[in-house]
Amino acid sequence: MQLLLSLLFSFSFTLEQPQSEIPKNGTYIYEVSFAEWSGRTMGDEVIVILKDGHITLKVSKNSNILWMGAASGDVIEEGTLRKHQSGVWIISNDEKDVSLEEIGGCTGGPTVIDFDKQTIEMC
């Protein structure tokens, strides 16, 4: 019986875990993961500012977004952090976003943020 419990306990750690909770307030550097390239990152950085459930994304000086006319420090997006029904965190401006079928990437829905991988999904 102990062997069975031990095996089950070990197996539970190999299953994919839901995303962790929101990190503490502060400023972080995250990478952009591109939805149109299967979530691949290309070293493009975004400044992430977290404060009491609010999030602001800014252009980093090491960002490829600069060529699109944005300057370092410009705000790309901001909103409230909400946990989507799928278990991922989203940047939202409407409480109903948590129930949307399509989110992130190139869907036109709320942006997905992954605190564990430190990535922002963009298109």
**Tokens matching residue 86:** 């799928």
What are the pLDDT digits (tens) for 111-123?
999 999 999 998 8
Q: Which amino acid is at 103?
A: I
What are the pLDDT digits (tens) for 41-59?
777 899 999 999 999 999 9
Whether residue 12 lies inside any domain: the answer is: no
Whether residue 87 lies inside any domain: the answer is: yes
The predicted model scores a pTM of: 0.78
The DSSP 8-state label assigned to residue 6 in this structure reads H
Count of domains for the chain: 1
Residues 83-90 have a mean pLDDT of 96
Whether residue 55 lies inside any domain: the answer is: yes
Q: Which domain holds residue 68?
A: 25-122
Whether residue 1 lies inside any domain: the answer is: no
Whether residue 56 lies inside any domain: the answer is: yes
Distance between CA atoms of 47 and 14, rounded to whole angstroms? 31
What are the pLDDT digits (tens) for 23-47?
999 999 999 888 887 777 777 899 9
